[in-house]
Structure 1
Amino acid sequence: MSFEGEKASVQFHEIGLDDRILKAIAKLGWAEPSLIQEKAIPLFLDGKDVLMKARTGSGKTGAFTIPVIQRILSSKEVNPDLQNTQALILAPTKELSSQIHKVMLQLTSKCSRDVRIVDISSQADISAQKPLLVDFPDIVIATPGRAVAHLKAETLNLKDLKMLVIDEADLMFSCGYEEDVKQVLKSLPKIYQAALASATLSADVLNLKKLVLHNAVTLKLQESELAPLKQLTHYKHYSEASEKHAVLYSLLKLGLIRGKSIIFVNTVDKCYRLKLFLDQFKISSCILNSELPAASRCHAVAQFNEGVYDIIIASEESFLDDPSVDSRRNKDKEFGLSRGIDFQHVSNIINYEFPESINSYIHRAGRTARGSNKGFFEENPKDLRTLRHDKKRKAPKTGQHISNVPDYLVPNSLKSVTGLIKIKKAKKKFVPPSTANKKYEVSSSAFQMQNDFILLPKKICTFFGQK
């Protein structure tokens, strides 16, 4: 089934979802289902196997998480005492697994007692994760490698599994998970429902479809692999390799690139070097690469989404599978950033080093203009005019720490700058008390000097008991 030029015409409450899910969706701010969600959710709820092909940022995560939760809630209405692992969601990277887990926690915020979700993709010890699986959580999220490790340790039981979902299916085989996926399939019951989500329909996806799906419905959105031009505008700048640092510094310092930005490089070393370069000019940023622990990477993504950092430098490393690269360096092969991760409110994607494939460029660009959001590049040609030297300079902003500097501390060279120094004036002038006792007032002429001694007037001496 293919859909072209259509818009979502069905609302979430018309799909037949539980009220608790609808409340969670409203809390997330999802006004209406995307096209892939509108078509995929009813099919999945009907028990059909589904292959979803849609560009990155089109809402594929919601297209499979919502029906999985709905089916679990429906089964527990029939049998409230039912407690077994009903759904397994596989993702190629830890970051994507963590993101799916976060989305599902948000979707089950109103029914968390009825639907338990566990993410076992982290690189923790198997024995440490065993308590998470003892009570048979309803949904388990994992990478294929971690799922196989738990199956071998007999800490994960999939005998009663009802649903299998594989996200970013086109990456599974290319990341070397073919044997792991086959191992997981051997542990599943004969009858189960499955769904595949992918941005492309490559040969690997078609091979995975033959292994996993049965009489599947294929949903293909006939659209460009990139966001439309009304959402995403592409620019290119030619420069020598030695000039890239200066160009990037100029774009950031002059404010020609505004909003949250992701800078992509191809190696870990370049990632660190670029951060050190920006740090010299007090341009704060965080980094993401395969040498960082999974917890640190997820923390960096969270801080970027929360606005702690506006710039993130990410390495998309094709050398993970390259035997010529030094293998002594500790790299995580379950690392991936340009695929599936939902960075919030990203305005700009900067390819500091150009990707090595077209697909890589497509998925890098997919980190912005997600859903109906727009990038910030559309206004950049207008902003380039600020480079003209005949433009009026903007007045410098006054920092809080120098907003009330006393005038005598300000250098003469800065006193001429208007608006830089603000000196607080006293609200009220000091007024001496008007009710002063005039009985003992003595004029200065009443004092007389004799041999360097002061002779007090007679009335003052009488007051103090002196003669």
Structure 2
Amino acid sequence: MAEDGGVQMRFGDMGLDERILKAIAELGWKDPTLIQERAIPLALDGKDIVARARTGSGKTAAFLIPIIQKILTQKSGVSQQACTRALVIVPSKELSKQAYKNLLELTVACSEEVRCVDLGNQADLAAQRPLLKEKPDVVIGTPGKIFAHLQAKNLVVKDSMEMLVLDEADLLYSFGYERDIQNIKQYLPDACQVLLTSATLSEEIISLKRLFLHNPVTLRLEESQLPEADQLTQYHIQCDETERFLLIYAMLKLQLIQGKSIIFVNSVDRCYKLKLYLEQFAIRSCLLNSELPVNSRCHIVQQFNDGVYDILIASDENQLKGKALAQKGMKVSKKKGDREYGVSRGIDFQNVSNVINFDFPLTVDAYIHRVGRTARAGKQGTALSFVLPTELPLLNEIERILSSALDDGGGVPTNSNTPSSSTAPTTTSIFRPYQFRMDQIEGFRYRAQDAMRAVTKVAVRESRINEIRQEMLNSQKLKTYFTDNPRDLQVLRHDKTLHTVRVQPHLKHVPDYLIPPVLRPVVKSRSEGPRIHKGSRKNQPSRGALRQKKLKADPLRSFEFEGLAELTKKKKRTK
């Protein structure tokens, strides 16, 4: 049933082409999400739309499906001249690749009729020019790249374009694209259908609305920007800086964190510092930050989604962060990075069980977008935040906003009975205190301190240099140069070994005497795992299935709760 009490519309009721319905069925989508149910019929009717919907709500498909449907309708039975009919503008290269992938999935049964080009793949305009000369039906890219091609006349849409999509529109200005967006306008037709999607309805969205849209329909969906409490559990731990490192080490080694996890930090340096720290305990992880080339970032996301790594450490430096630092009077870093980078918004991380705010986000929006990486597509998820004493006011502010009623600025609703702002509302507790007994892990502290001493500024700097060297060796653009200059390649490969942290083998294992007594049976059972004999693998569940089973049973547990449960059982037995 629909939220308003009516019968929910299905994909088959929207008048979509059979080829689109076939692709939807192969993707396993049973019913449209709220944004898809409301936006697709309006888009098919030619309406301009402004839609506010949270990350992971399915808004990418909500605008791609109408585009595909209209292209198929126009091409049916008529020999049409090739031209670009739709332009999709996104704020980051990762989002560009993701939207392109989604379009390929939705056109699997009509790939010859609907052709698309992703301008986020290659950085060289000359390499992309031949692709655009073939006049693909749909072009996807960032404002900077699209404007460059329009200016160079590689892309001409003045007389052919019928649909324009501005995806994650609130980030287009935040990422410094305001000038590019304004310049793109002059190359577009005077009248075309515009679909604008955003997680918030801010002043920047109003500016874009005035610039591009004509009498649009505004969809403010009555849904939370985060999943409901029965799907997403949010914890917080109050700690100091040194305890953060102690906690993450102990929780990972005691296997209190189960499943794929994204650990968010606030800077690139923190990325490398945390990775080097965890490496000393043989805890594998991958990094994602704005200094890595786009191809590497996309490859890392793919490896994480494929289960090659279960832990991803991501830095969340972006324009929103810059604004937050400026508001606090702090210095904004001007280190070189890719402005077309965004990790907490839009990227399709799959099957993420936990989001861990190792560094607490600097803004309310940043918290919402980070936590939105988990508990997607109806699956359970957990968010855990390490909070310094100075960050408690921001934690309280986030809790107040998450508990407040939906307002005109795109706040997060709880339900329609939420009191108005004129009265003092009684807010529901959003964050559960994670009852972690620090006295039970004192034996871990000396190991954590020893590992922290090894992670010096020099080690972090040399790790970043090593990363750059590896990217140079793997660069497709430099292959020709190294072929012509083999001596330079040898010098690069035989450079001195960088002095990073020293991995001590004994830190890999946690001796029994360090494990809190209440957790010893749990840790032992998990570490042993199911024994699979070589001759019986065919009849055994896959590792992924076993992992999913564990996640449902225990996504994240505070061992104090388990300890209380054990004590209660013992008391009952004695009675």
TM (norm. structure 1) is 0.80
With 83-92 and 385-394 compared, the bigger mean Cα shift is at 385-394
Alignment deviations for residues 101-141 of structure 1 (CA, whole Å, 9 cap, x no partner): 11001111111101001111245211111111011000000
Shift in Å at residue 370 of structure 1?
Answer: 1.8
Counterpart for residue 127 of structure 2: 128
- Aligned mates of 1:391, 1:299 — CA distance in 2: 37
- Maintained 8 Å contact 1:8/1:33: no
Alignment deviations for residues 253-306 of structure 1 (CA, whole Å, 9 cap, x no partner): 111111111000000010011111111112111110010000000010011111
Of 365, 390, 397, 2:528 maps to 397
Shift in Å at residue 225 of structure 1?
Answer: 2.1
SS in 2 for 1:75: helix
Counterpart for residue 255 of structure 2: 255
Alignment deviations for residues 422-453 of structure 1 (CA, whole Å, 9 cap, x no partner): xxxxxxxxxxxxxxxxxxxxxxxxxxxxxxxx
- Maintained 8 Å contact 2:265/2:359: yes
With 305-314 and 6-15 compared, the bigger mean Cα shift is at 6-15
- Aligned mates of 1:185, 1:131 — CA distance in 2: 24
Shift in Å at residue 382 of structure 1?
Answer: 11
Shift in Å at residue 38 of structure 1?
Answer: 0.7
Matched, 1:213 2:341: no
Counterpart for residue 153 of structure 2: 154
- Maintained 8 Å contact 2:266/2:315: yes
Counterpart for residue 196 of structure 1: 196
Counterpart for residue 137 of structure 2: 138
Counterpart for residue 373 of structure 2: 367
* 1:174–1:382 CA distance, 2 compared to 1 (3 A): closer
Matched, 1:307 2:435: no
- Maintained 8 Å contact 1:8/1:34: no
SS in 2 for 1:233: strand
Matched, 1:240 2:246: no
The alignment of Structure 1 onto Structure 2 pairs a total of residues equal to 399
* 1:138–1:14 CA distance, 2 compared to 1 (3 A): same
Counterpart for residue 170 of structure 1: 170
- Counterpart of 1:53, as a letter, is R
* 1:5–1:273 CA distance, 2 compared to 1 (3 A): farther
Alignment deviations for residues 229-258 of structure 1 (CA, whole Å, 9 cap, x no partner): 111111001111012111001111111111
- Counterpart of 1:357, as a letter, is T
Counterpart for residue 364 of structure 2: 358
SS in 2 for 1:82: coil
SS in 2 for 1:147: helix
SS in 1 for 2:261: strand
* 1:350–1:6 CA distance, 2 compared to 1 (3 A): farther
- Aligned mates of 1:36, 1:6 — CA distance in 2: 16
- Maintained 8 Å contact 1:52/1:198: yes
Matched, 1:183 2:202: no
- Aligned mates of 1:72, 1:356 — CA distance in 2: 43
- Aligned mates of 2:519, 2:268 — CA distance in 1: 40
Shift in Å at residue 142 of structure 1?
Answer: 0.6
- Counterpart of 1:397, as a letter, is E
Counterpart for residue 12 of structure 1: 11
Shift in Å at residue 399 of structure 1?
Answer: 11
SS in 2 for 1:237: strand
- Maintained 8 Å contact 1:17/1:70: yes
- Counterpart of 2:239, as a letter, is S
* 1:80–1:381 CA distance, 2 compared to 1 (3 A): farther
- Maintained 8 Å contact 2:234/2:382: no
- Aligned mates of 1:371, 1:270 — CA distance in 2: 30
SS in 2 for 1:36: helix
- Aligned mates of 1:383, 1:254 — CA distance in 2: 15
- Aligned mates of 1:7, 1:377 — CA distance in 2: 33
* 1:36–1:278 CA distance, 2 compared to 1 (3 A): same
Alignment deviations for residues 37-88 of structure 1 (CA, whole Å, 9 cap, x no partner): 0110011011111111111111111110111111111111153333100000
SS in 1 for 2:366: helix
Q: From the CA coordinates, give the structure whose radius of gyration is larger.
A: 1
- Aligned mates of 2:76, 2:91 — CA distance in 1: 33
Counterpart for residue 335 of structure 1: 341
- Aligned mates of 2:311, 2:338 — CA distance in 1: 23
* 1:28–1:138 CA distance, 2 compared to 1 (3 A): same
Counterpart for residue 551 of structure 2: none
- Maintained 8 Å contact 1:168/1:197: yes
- Aligned mates of 1:66, 1:242 — CA distance in 2: 49
- Aligned mates of 2:215, 2:310 — CA distance in 1: 46
Of 346, 369, 386, 2:352 maps to 346
Alignment deviations for residues 380-400 of structure 1 (CA, whole Å, 9 cap, x no partner): 999979975156533663999
Counterpart for residue 108 of structure 1: 107
With 134-143 and 382-391 compared, the bigger mean Cα shift is at 382-391
- Aligned mates of 1:384, 1:29 — CA distance in 2: 39
- Maintained 8 Å contact 2:17/2:69: yes
- Maintained 8 Å contact 2:237/2:434: no
Counterpart for residue 69 of structure 2: 70
- Maintained 8 Å contact 1:7/1:35: no
- Aligned mates of 1:109, 1:181 — CA distance in 2: 31
* 1:20–1:259 CA distance, 2 compared to 1 (3 A): same
Alignment deviations for residues 333-359 of structure 1 (CA, whole Å, 9 cap, x no partner): 111111111110111000000111000
Counterpart for residue 91 of structure 1: 90
Counterpart for residue 453 of structure 1: none
Shift in Å at residue 325 of structure 1?
Answer: 5.6
- Maintained 8 Å contact 1:170/1:199: yes
- Maintained 8 Å contact 1:119/1:141: yes
- Aligned mates of 1:8, 1:167 — CA distance in 2: 29
Shift in Å at residue 224 of structure 1?
Answer: 2.2
Counterpart for residue 286 of structure 1: 286
* 1:22–1:192 CA distance, 2 compared to 1 (3 A): same
TM (norm. structure 2) is 0.65
- Aligned mates of 2:68, 2:281 — CA distance in 1: 48
SS in 2 for 1:106: helix
- Maintained 8 Å contact 1:76/1:82: no
Shift in Å at residue 206 of structure 1?
Answer: 1.3
* 1:289–1:16 CA distance, 2 compared to 1 (3 A): same
- Counterpart of 1:216, as a letter, is P
Shift in Å at residue 27 of structure 1?
Answer: 1.0
- Maintained 8 Å contact 1:288/1:313: yes
* 1:184–1:8 CA distance, 2 compared to 1 (3 A): farther
* 1:5–1:384 CA distance, 2 compared to 1 (3 A): farther
- Aligned mates of 1:204, 1:289 — CA distance in 2: 26
* 1:149–1:239 CA distance, 2 compared to 1 (3 A): same
- Maintained 8 Å contact 1:8/1:32: no
- Aligned mates of 1:63, 1:357 — CA distance in 2: 28
- Maintained 8 Å contact 2:375/2:382: no
- Aligned mates of 2:179, 2:374 — CA distance in 1: 33
